[in-house]
Amino acid sequence: MSIYDFSVTGTDGQQVPMSTFRGKVLLIVNTAVACGFTPQYEGLQKLYDTYKESGFEILDFPCNQFGHQAPGTDEEIDSFCTLKYHTSFPRFAKIDVNGDKQEPLFRFLKSRQRGFMGDGIKWNFTKFLVSRDGRVVERYAPMTKPEKIENDILRLL
């Protein structure tokens, strides 16, 4: 099984094969718009602006499982992020990252990089770094700011 074997749902409801991102360094993040970590969108966008031309992508997956901090529709979330934080990286449909209805991609990511206290994602803005060949190389806690990940991204680019 590879990260490229999965498809995810775009904000338009269409399936997006992960193979679309083959050959790129990926930072996959579960996010929320009403979270104490939401200002990390600024740092994420800065990383994206700096490295997207070098083959870097951020994949944003809103999640409402933690304190209901991602309310609203996919369209409302996308509008908020675009208007308030000027994000331009790909955003996908709202998902669950834990439990019976968890997004299969996140089940896979968690199986490749366990967290400090096991597999489960503990909060919004957990981040997974994926190499160009699809290996899940690192998992970062929600409090890890995007700028702290920059050197790891550079090593993979």
- Residue 51 CA to residue 123 CA, distance in Å, equals 26
Q: Given 3-state DSSP classes, what are the helix, strand and coil percentages for the chain, each rounded to the nearest 5? A: 35, 25, 40
Residue 70: how many CB atoms within 10 A of its CB?
25
Q: Which two tokens stand for residue 67?
A: 């304190």
Which residue in the list 16, 35, 97, 121 is annotated as catalytic? 35
Residue 81 known to be catalytic: no
Phi and psi (nearest 5°) for 89? -85, 160
CA angle, 27 then 38 then 34, to 5°: 130
Residue whose pair of structure tokens reads 């996919």 in the numeric block: 74
Residues with catalytic roles: 35
